Amino acid sequence: MSTTKPFKVLIAHTDVPPEGIEILKEQCEILQVINEPPKNRPEILEKIRGAHAVIWGGRDILNAEILDAAGPQLKAVSTMSSGINNVDVPELKKRGIPLGSTPAMLTVAVADLTVGLLIAAARRFQEGRRKIDSDKWDKDHLNWMLGQDIRDSTVGFYGFGGIGQAVAKRLMGFDIKRMLYTTRNRVSQDIEERFNAKKVDFETLLAESDFLIIASPLTKETLGLFNATVFNKMKETAVLVNVGRGKIVNQDDLYEALKSNRIFAAGLDVMDPEPLPSNDKLLTLDNVVVTPHVGYATRRTRVDAANLASRNVLKGLAGEPMLSPAY
Ligand SMILES: O=CC(=O)O
């Protein structure tokens, strides 16, 4: 009996959790990339030939070259991520290929980490660790290592989609005073009421936030938006948290703002570039806490994301709308 399956799917990641792609197996032959990025482009170009769908990931860009190598039968692409900046979206659209992504699967894990970064930056975890490492633990002064209070604070969100709202939900337990948000479109009244959140203009967000959380995608409008001019409009006690994309922040300007204590601290899961070199000047500062873009690096989240990406491509292959379309 022939075991030929109607579709071929390329998994362009080396280590997608197998249980996340199990559902593809009934209908699809699975081709898996074996070599690690960034050196696996030749392998991808080779293996994608004749593929009907691809689960895309990593740093490399899925662009015309990859699509040409695949051939005209390619019907569906899904990332296992929220951001789709590793895909040439106009090129896919031009060819009428649907793109899926998996933002909803990431929300909880990223929101948890955001709260962690907020606390770590506000309460000076990085500096505290360095004090211990350098035998500078001061037991004699009451004003040593004082941090910022979260209770009764104003938390501002630049971007108030799924991740922002999940952070807001978690922060409800911290007795904060109010939440402000800046987005292009107002969220529903129901959501505003649930979080006691108010839409404000960018200037107000900067001036009034004690904690300012960037949870928005990288776009032409957000590229480099958080620069020296912006930091100069923030409170000196403000804590900035970025879980969006590194390039939303002008990192040289952030370095200066932190070094001069123009703002109090920053907690960053995203940087520019990534990986951030270990000799980057940002890492010399006490008042920045960094994590290596691990917002959604939890076991369950990876499986969920792979599962949704698989379901997206199965829908695309069936000519149906994807469960989580990126456009
Ligand atoms: O940053 C993570 C993602 O966009 O999935």
- pLDDT-above-90 percentage for the chain: 96
Q: Which of 40, 93, 38 is nearest to 64 (CA)?
A: 93
Q: Each residue of 127-174: pLDDT tens digit?
A: 999 999 999 999 999 999 999 999 999 999 999 999 999 999 999 999
Query: How many Cα atoms are found within 13 Å in the side-chain-facing hemisphere of 104?
Result: 9
Could you count the other beta carbons within 10 Å of the beta carbon of residue 80? 31
For ligand 1, is residue 56 a contact (CB within 6 Å)?
Answer: no
Q: Each residue of 179-201: pLDDT tens digit?
A: 999 999 999 999 999 999 999 99
For ligand 1, is residue 251 a contact (CB within 6 Å)?
Answer: no
Q: Which residues have CB under 8 Å from 90's CB, separation 6+?
A: none
Ligand 1 centroid, distance to 253 Cα (angstroms): 24
Spatial separation of the C-alpha atoms in residues 214 and 246, rounded to whole Å: 10
Q: Where residue 60 falls among pLDDT bands split at 50, 70, 90?
A: confident
Spatial separation of the C-alpha atoms in residues 218 and 90, rounded to whole Å: 16
Spatial separation of the C-alpha atoms in residues 288 and 270, rounded to whole Å: 12
Domains and their CATH numbers in the chain? 7-103+299-318 (3.40.50.720), 106-290 (3.40.50.720)
The number of the ligand 1 atom at minimal distance from the alpha carbon of 83 is 4
Q: Averaged over 256-261, what is the pLDDT?
A: 98
For ligand 1, is residue 79 a contact (CB within 6 Å)?
Answer: no
pTM over 0.90: yes
The number of the ligand 1 atom at minimal distance from the alpha carbon of 101 is 5
On the question of pLDDT at 2 being above 90, the answer is: no
Ligand 1 centroid, distance to 285 Cα (angstroms): 26
User: Which residue has its alpha carbon closest to ligand 1 atom 5?
Assistant: 81
Contact (CB, 8 A) for 79 and 103:
no
Ligand 1 centroid, distance to 294 Cα (angstroms): 9
293 catalytic per annotation: yes
DSSP 188: P
Enumerate the β-bridge partners of residue 242. 214, 268
The interface pTM score, or ipTM, of the predicted complex is 0.89
Residue that has been written with the tokens 């904690």 in this structure:
211
Q: Which of 237, 233, 231 is nearest to 154 (CA)?
A: 237
Q: What is the mean pLDDT of the chain?
A: 96
Spatial separation of the C-alpha atoms in residues 256 and 265, rounded to whole Å: 12
Task: Report pLDDT for 327.
Answer: 95
The number of the ligand 1 atom at minimal distance from the alpha carbon of 79 is 5
